[in-house]
C-alpha cells in the first residue's frame, strides 16, 4: 500500500458524516458559492495535524497527488505536510516547495487552505527576496491567489515588517470579494496589534473608501469610542 492509499484509508475511517455536513455549510459549497462542489469527509484540523506529523517520509510527488484531490481534507493535509517539510528543509528544498505551491495554487482554493499555508511557504520563502511574486498574486483574477498575497504577509508582520502588507492592502482596497475584505482587515488589525501608528496612518488616509467589512475587521481591537468615529466617518 502506498502512502497515498494509506492516508486515504485513514481519512475515510476518521471521517464523520455529521461533521462533513457542517463543513459543507460552513465552507459554502452550494451552487454559486465560493466553495461550490467541494467534498468533505468530516475530519477535524487537529486530526489532520496529527496525520501530517506522521507522514514526513512521504514524497513531494505523493503530496502533490493529495493536493490535487477533490476532497478538501486531502488538500489541507497535503498543505500541512508541505508546511512541516518546508520548515525543516534546506534552501533547495524550500525553493522546490515554494514553486510546487505556486504551480498548484488552483488547488489552494478555500480560505482555510490559504490561511494554513500562505505565510509558512510563500511569505517565508520571500523573506529577504524580491516581493514581485506577491504583487502578481495580488493582481490575479483568482480570488484565492489574491488571498494568498495578503495572507503571505502575515509572516512579515510577525517579524515587525509591515510595508508589504500595507502596499498589498492598497492594491486590494477596491476588491469586490468579501473574503478579501476580511483577510485585508485582519492583516491590518495584526499590524495594529504590533504598531498601532502604522495601522492608523493607513486607516486615516483610506478608511472612507474601505469596504465596510474590511474596516470593521481592521478596527475590531480599537477602543469603542475610536471604533465608532471610524464607522461614522468622523476621524
Q: Is the pLDDT of residue 69 over 90?
A: yes
User: Do 64 and 13 belong together in one domain?
Assistant: yes
User: Do 174 and 101 belong together in one domain?
Assistant: no
Measured distance CA(10)–CA(28) in Å, rounded: 25
Q: What is the mean pLDDT of residues 181-201?
A: 98
Residue 68 lies in a domain: yes
Residue 128 lies in a domain: no
DSSP sequence for 82-115: HHHHHHHS-HHHHHHHHHHHHHTGGG--SHHHHH
Residue 145 lies in a domain: no
User: Do 66 and 164 belong together in one domain?
Assistant: no
Band of pLDDT at residue 1, cut at 50, 70 and 90 = confident
Share of the chain above pLDDT 70, in %: 100
Q: Which of 64, 95, 114 is the last residue of a domain?
A: 114
Mean of per-residue pLDDT scores for the chain: 97
User: Do 2 and 108 belong together in one domain?
Assistant: yes
Count of domains forming the chain: 2
User: Do 101 and 201 belong together in one domain?
Assistant: no
Domain membership of residue 181 as a residue range = 155-235
Q: Is the pLDDT of residue 14 over 90?
A: yes
Residue 209 lies in a domain: yes
CB contact set of 164 (below 8 Å; sequence gap of 6+): 131, 134, 153, 156
Residue 228 lies in a domain: yes
Measured distance CA(138)–CA(45) in Å, rounded: 27
Q: Which of 114, 141, 169 is the last residue of a domain?
A: 114
pLDDT at 56: 87
pTM here? 0.96
User: Do 4 and 87 belong together in one domain?
Assistant: yes
Residue 134 lies in a domain: no
Residue 138 lies in a domain: no
The backbone torsions φ and ψ at residue 8, rounded to the nearest 5 degrees and listed phi first, read: -65, -35
pLDDT at 63: 98
User: Do 161 and 107 belong together in one domain?
Assistant: no
User: Do 14 and 99 belong together in one domain?
Assistant: yes
User: Do 18 and 110 belong together in one domain?
Assistant: yes
Q: Are 15 and 9 in contact (CB under 8 A)?
A: no
Band of pLDDT at residue 235, cut at 50, 70 and 90 = confident
User: Do 10 and 93 belong together in one domain?
Assistant: yes
User: Do 3 and 102 belong together in one domain?
Assistant: yes
Residue 85 lies in a domain: yes
Band of pLDDT at residue 39, cut at 50, 70 and 90 = very high
User: Do 95 and 168 belong together in one domain?
Assistant: no
Q: What is the mean pLDDT of residues 32-46?
A: 96
Amino acid at each position: 500500500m502506498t502512502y497515498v492509499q494509506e492516508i486515504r484509508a485513514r481519512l475515510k475511517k476518521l471521517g464523520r458524516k455529521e461533521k462533513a455536513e457542517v463543513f459543507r455549510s460552513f465552507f459554502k459549497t452550494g451552487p454559486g458559492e465560493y466553495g461550490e462542489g467541494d467534498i468533505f469527509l468530516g475530519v477535524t484540523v487537529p486530526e489532520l495535524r496529527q496525520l501530517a506529523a506522521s507522514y514526513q517520509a512521504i514524497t513531494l510527488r505523493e503530496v502533490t497527488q493529495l493536493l490535487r484531490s477533490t476532497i478538501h481534507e486531502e488538500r489541507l493535509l497535503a498543505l500541512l505536510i508541505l508546511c512541516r517539510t518546508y520548515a525543516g528543509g534546506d534552501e533547495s528544498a524550500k525553493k522546490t516547495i515554494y514553486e510546487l505551491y505556486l504551480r498548484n495554487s488552483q488547488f489552494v482554493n478555500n480560505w482555510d487552505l490559504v490561511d494554513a499555508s500562505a505565510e509558512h511557504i510563500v511569505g517565508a520563502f520571500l523573506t529577504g527576496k524580491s516581493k514581485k511574486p506577491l504583487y502578481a498574486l495580488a493582481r490575479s483574477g483568482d480570488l484565492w491567489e489574491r488571498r494568498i498575497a495578503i495572507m503571505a504577509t502575515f509572516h512579515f508582520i510577525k517579524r515587525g515588517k509591515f510595508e508589504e502588507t500595507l502596499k498589498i492592502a492598497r492594491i486590494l482596497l477596491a476588491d469586490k470579494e468579501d473574503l478579501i475584505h476580511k483577510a485585508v482587515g485582519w492583516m491590518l488589525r495584526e499590524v495594529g496589534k504590533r504598531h498601532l501608528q502604522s495601522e492608523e496612518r493607513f486607516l486615516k488616509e483610506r478608511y472612507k473608501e474601505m469596504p465596510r467589512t474590511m474596516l470593521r475587521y481592521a478596527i475590531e481591537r480599537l477602543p469603542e469610542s475610536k471604533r465608532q468615529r471610524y464607522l461614522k466617518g468622523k476621524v
